[in-house]
Every structure is written in structure tokens, then in C-alpha cells.
Amino acid sequence: MMTPQHIAPYILRALAKAQTEGRCMDLETLSREIEVRKVDVRKAVSALHHEGLLDALRLRLSLEGFALGRALLAIELGPIRRPEQAAETPEQAPKRVEAA
């Protein structure tokens, strides 16, 4: 499960980009854009609303939220999810010695 603190920078960044381009977003499009479940996005949006960084009803950033989102556009955020581990090849598998 993703925490609101983990998702928040991605939400601020996506909304700042959309507002800069004059686009409106809803929960569905925001969820699709950052590739996170709607349930997790909704929790993070609620937390950001309580902090005064966005209006949850209109899904619009406050001035402070917009400033943070624009600052986040200038930096490289890591992947939102950890990369899936690739299956081990037979060469990578540890060698097991069978007891006699």
C-alpha cells in the first residue's frame, strides 16, 4: 500500500503541470496519469486538502501547492513503484548441494 506522503509529490507535480497547460483533471485522470489506484490517490488528495495545498472538490492547487508542484517539475522524481524483480535464471539461482 502506498502512503499519502509517498504519493503527494507526484500529485502536486501532475496537477501543477495540468494547471500550467490549462487542463482540468478529475480523480480518474489523475489516477491514470500517475498510475496509482484511485483509493490511494483519494487519501493523498484528502491529506493535501487538509494541509491547504489543494482544493479537493475542484482538484485545483492553492498558490502554495502550485509553487511546490512547479518546483517538483524541475527535479527528477524516482519511480513511484519499485521495479519488479526479474525471475532468476538458472545461472543466477544458488547452487544447492543435496545431502547424501
Please, are residues 59 and 31 in contact by the beta-carbon 8 Å criterion?
Answer: no
Structural domains in the chain plus CATH codes:
4-73 (1.10.10.10)
More confidently predicted of 79 and 85: 79
Alpha helices by DSSP H, the chain = 4-20, 27-34, 38-50, 63-73
**Reported pTM:** 0.78
Output the pLDDT for position 1: 63
What is the Cα–Cα distance from 67 to 46, expressed in whole angstroms?
A: 19
For residues 14-25, average pLDDT: 95
For residues 62-86, average pLDDT: 83
Output the pLDDT for position 83: 56
